[in-house]
Amino acid sequence: MKRTTLTLLISGLLSTNAMAMAPNTDLNLMPYPQDVELGSGTVSIDKEFSIFIKGYDSDRVQFNAKRTMERLYRQTGLPMLHWQAESEKEATLVIDIRKGPKDEVQNLDSDESYQLEVTNGQVRISSERPYGAFHGLETFLQLVTTDANGYSVPVVSIEDEPRFKWRGVSYDTSRHFIELDVILRQLDAMASAKMNVFHWHIWDDQGIRIQLDNYTKLWEETADGDYYTKDEIRYVVNYARNLGIRVIPEISLPGHASAVAHAYPELMSGMGEQSYPQQRGWGVFEPLMDPTNPELYTMLASVFDEVVELFPDEYFHIGGDEPNYKQWKENPKIQQFIADNNLDGERGLQSYLNTKVEQMLEERGKKMSGWDEIWHKDLPKSIVIQSWRGHDSIGRAAKEGYQGVLSTGYYLDQAQPTSYHYRNDPMPTGITVDDKLHSGEKFETYDWVKPRNKGGPRKGNLTIIEAKDGTFRAFTDYNGKSREEVYILEYVPGVKFRGHFDNFMSYTEFNYEFAGGKLKEGSYQIIGNVRWPATGELIAGSAIEGSVIPEPNGGYPAELKGDEKDLILGGEITIWGENLDSMTIEQRLWPRSYAIAERLWSSQELTDERSMYQRMSVMDTWSEISLGLRHHADATMMLKRLANGADVTPLQTLAKYIEPAQYYARHWEKWISTPNKGDLYNQYERLNRFADALPVESLAVYEMNDLVAEYAKGDKAALAKLALHYQTAALAAQQAEPIFANNVASVDTVKVAQATVKVAELANTLIDLANKGESVRAADVAEYQRVIDENAIILDETIVAIVKPTENLLHTLAK
């Protein structure tokens, strides 16, 4: 299979196949409904707008009707003083709910379908149950537009229901405390995206943020006074319930237990007299709860009793991830317990604990959920596994009959291209490339090694097969993960290879040059937007006698069939709090969450990334107006803080052309930033850098990549627009440099401004050549590439994003 990838819009991240298969998306809606029939004409929204509730009514229904009016006022500014219609006939909007909720507490089986009809001067939202109507109101609010004639919604017929039952956000408020008003605002935003699960991560190494009447040291001695009272939690749960959102607590065990260890060290698995400091750092730590200690179950029972009373949802999350078994391995008493009970080592001991916890939760009317590590054959099929390990893990669990929710690929605490998240479907699909060598075909396999700033190197291989018709296909075995197709962007056998795939945590691009059977110096992988050097050599190929394509060292990806697919319940965004606080968390979540919400709600065939970006841009502004989201307002405030009284405009302009280093690169930069590595990889690290105020991706640079591609196709007019971008970026950088230099928080950002100017100057040189119809001399290509490479590195946790279109332009002119 030969597959090309467009540079348009997202420069190598947007697939032609995705565009070709996309259903029609005429309206600016996210998530896009399952079935939309757009008619002609509109229904006006004016001061006479009114709502009539037909059929089932309740406090929750009234809450959502009133909330709709409040937001309609935000969107239009029109006073609508008589919005409660006396009759169905006179109403502008009719909410017709046929029946009340089937169960008092919303659950997986709650009906969320709705119909929306705009015709004959009226809007009608119909649903079997209230939850569908709530979603219909969100669609209605997204439909409201304005022009010179007034406000209106288009004549349209919509039939809609979610593809997946579980569409959530796992929200970390332990590592950094997140203020209550921010949480409530996120619930509003979640509802607007038709998300229905708020997974509240209130318990981790760095703090336990929930008030408890018993075992009070859990929060008194670990949360620095920043915790949620029981009344606040009840308020959040009730507010979410009104919006049709379930709230699930997470109480982590047996690992991520440093806070418990600090408060109650006797519950840990160390030997002798135990004492543990308050944990401020990030990572995986030694304290591990002792499953052989009866006092542990007394504590857990007390905590469960109090937490269950606050959270009515049927599920209760126990964490279970990343246990460090060191204490269990080194404790003779625990090892004897494992032997006496014929347990399967430390993994079996964790399963023993989970089985007891599952029984405790069942006694309290709860079903257990947890991360991949809880999966064990001894646990009942009622549990839900939340996967951070990816499709391999969730797929294999489903093969064994277990329900799962995918979080891999939805980590929004990481800066990543939204297109990467959008392509990430929760449903495992199996291998997508023919990895077998057929008669008349040739192949080459290269091993590669990529270092990291923290942790060991990543290793893998890349195999390229040339078919008899001269087309190529490629795949990789990436660091023990299952075999994945690599989409080829450019390949000259024995000379160079460029291709990309989405690994389980990031967009990954191979940029390799070959010489003498090895990867040449300067070969690299792009992870997100960061270049990482790679080394390697040819280990197998048709020219090497007796060699064969290596077997996949991570096996093949799971492929689900029939009823197995029903076990994939959906997905959860994860927003971990190491580098986020109340001021920065919103811009990581929004507007990107709309794209993931669409992947979880809408048709699997909806894959047009260009449409996604266009509609997400509309949602970006709409969410500020309709919901009051502060992702842009908070970023502007941070830039004003850096400007220190100077004009903030240059910083705002430069921010359009710079990106935060993506994936975990910023974490690793913090790790290596001090002579004693890790000294600032903790709660003491500042979150006031230029990088902290940046959007996760540069839409301006995507446009610049478009312009380079248009020029490559013969459109010389694109050069003038491209030149304007570079001039704008360079001027902003020049003006920003002294501003950065005058603030202790941005002194290190001066080099970002300087690098921007250097790259822009090179780009202008290339544009001058292009305008003259000249190509780049072979003697100059290496020097120009050197300038690009020198400025493509991480600078103060950022990437000068204009490097990409500049390199594309250089390659275009060098051909």
Specify the long-range contacts of residues 262-265, CB closer than 8 Å, at least 24 apart: 262/221, 262/222, 263/208, 263/215, 263/217, 263/218, 263/220, 263/221, 263/222, 264/215, 264/217, 264/218, 264/299
Place of tokens 């790679």: 534
Residue with tokens 């000259």: 492
Q: Helix, strand, coil % (nearest 5) of the chain?
A: 35, 20, 40
DSSP letter for each residue of 493-520: TTTEEEEEEE-SSSEEEEEEEEETTEEP
- List all residues 6 or more positions away from 529 whose beta carbon is below 8 Å from its beta carbon: 415, 417, 659, 661, 662, 697, 799, 801, 804
**Closest C-alpha to 249, from 319, 191, 301, 192:** 319
- Number of C-beta neighbours around residue 44 at 10 A: 13
- Is residue 37 part of the annotated active site? The answer reads no
Q: What residues have CB less than 8 Å from 321, skipping those under 6 apart?
A: 252, 255, 256, 370, 371, 372, 373, 388
Q: How far apart are CA 401 and CA 395, in angstroms?
A: 10
Cis upstream peptide for 31 (omega within 30°): yes
In order of 454, 463, 492, 695, the CA distances from 550 in angstroms are 29, 9, 22, 41
Give the count of beta carbons closer than 10 Å to the beta carbon of residue 27.
Answer: 20
Tell me if 100 sits within 8 A of 58, measured CB to CB: yes
Whether 236 contacts 183, CB under 8 Å? yes
C-alpha span between 361 and 121 (Å, rounded): 52
Query: Which is catalytic among the residues 128, 179, 322, 362?
Result: 322
Q: What interhelical angle do 803-814 and 778-790 show, nearest 10? A: 170
Give just the sign of the alpha carbon dihedral 66, 72, 78, 84: negative
Tell me how far apart the alpha carbons of residues 266 and 286 are, in angstroms, rounded to a whole number. Answer: 14
Q: Tokens 């097969």 sit at which residue?
A: 465
798 contacts: CB under 8 Å, gap ≥ 6: 658, 659, 660, 661, 690, 691, 694, 749, 752
- Report whether 602 contacts 594 (CB < 8 A): no
Cis before residue 254, ω within 30 degrees of 0? Answer: yes
How does strand 472-478 pair with strand 496-502?
unpaired
530-533 and 507-515 beta bridge pairing: unpaired
Question: 493 φ, ψ to 5°?
Answer: -50, 130
Q: Determine the Cα–Cα distance for residues 499 and 207; give it in Å rounded to an integer.
A: 43
Strands 122-127 and 114-119: antiparallel
Q: Which residues lie across from 204 on neighbouring strands?
A: 207
Residue tagged 């998300």 (tokens): 195
Q: Which two tokens stand for residue 412?
A: 């929004």
Sign of the alpha-carbon dihedral angle for 484, 486, 487, 493: negative
Characterize 346-362 residue by residue with b for buried, 16 or more Cβ atoms within 10 angstroms of its Cβ, and e for exposed: beebbbbbbeebbebbe
**789-810 burial code (b ≥16 CB/10 A, e <16):** eebbebbbbbbbbbbbbbbbbb
The residue behind tokens 């698995």 is 269
Amino acid at 796: D
User: Would you name the residues annotated as active-site residues?
Assistant: 322
